Amino acid sequence: MIEVSNLTKKFGSTISLDSVSVSFKEGDHVALMGPNGAGKTTLIRLILGHYNPDSGKVLIDGLNPIKNRVEVLQHISFVPQLPPPIKLSLDELINYVVVSSGVKKQDIYHYAKEMELELIPNLTKSFFKLSGGMKQKLLIAISLAKKSGITIYDEPTANLDPKARENFYRLLQDGRTEKISLFVTHRIDELKKIINRQIYMDLGKIVSDEQV
């Protein structure tokens, strides 16, 4: 369970998140929507423990994601909007995930295959040299292989072609169990079959929160 209470995050004089309170329980599959600068990404970065809040708190299964980052991140999978320019080879990146998170290598291979990403011929290539779509497919495969209780996707299909998107949504539906999924998205139509809750944010606040 994710509990966010009176959470505020400022950058200089700009308030990015303004005293937000919200909770997500098992079985919640949530679309986080809103215009650019609404505070969606700030909220997920606070949940991941990447930002220190100015006030308020985030608890994940009762744990603070900054003080207990290792325990908390054991149970979270994350895919960013833009794949970062990681210079490790695919094999090294997979090794990083396997060793740090206890993910099975064959699970990553399995989901990569499901996403129609050929891993074997590309294992020695640097991650940043892959095409945008290939990078995103690998990050999605890693997130699914981690089998976390919480999955956070920040515009995960931005670089994917229609076929890859279809594969992604199919895999999400297959694995849609009693866990929490948060999707930062502008394409609500594509997620209709997956989400059961829709939150709209603007100017750092939650404007609407409804079950769908």
Under the rule (CB under 8 A), what is the footprint of another protein? 45, 48, 50-52, 69-74, 76, 78, 80, 82-88, 92, 95-97, 99-101, 139
Smaller CB separation from another protein, 96 or 109: 96
Question: How far apart, in whole angstroms, are the C-alpha atoms of residue 31 and residue 207?
Answer: 13
Q: Pick the closer one to another protein by CB: 6 or 81.
A: 81
Minimal distance, residue 152 CB to another protein, in Å: 8
CB of 71 or CB of 116, closer to another protein: 71
Q: From the CB of 70, what's the least distance to another protein, in Å?
A: 5
Handedness of CA 53, 8, 35, 141 (dihedral sign): positive
Minimal distance, residue 172 CB to another protein, in Å = 18
Q: Minimum distance between the CB of residue 211 and another protein, rounded to whole angstroms? A: 28
Distances in whole angstroms, Cα of residue 173 to Cα of each of 1, 9, 123, 147, 192: 20, 33, 28, 14, 11
* Closer CB to another protein, 70 or 178, in the complex: 70
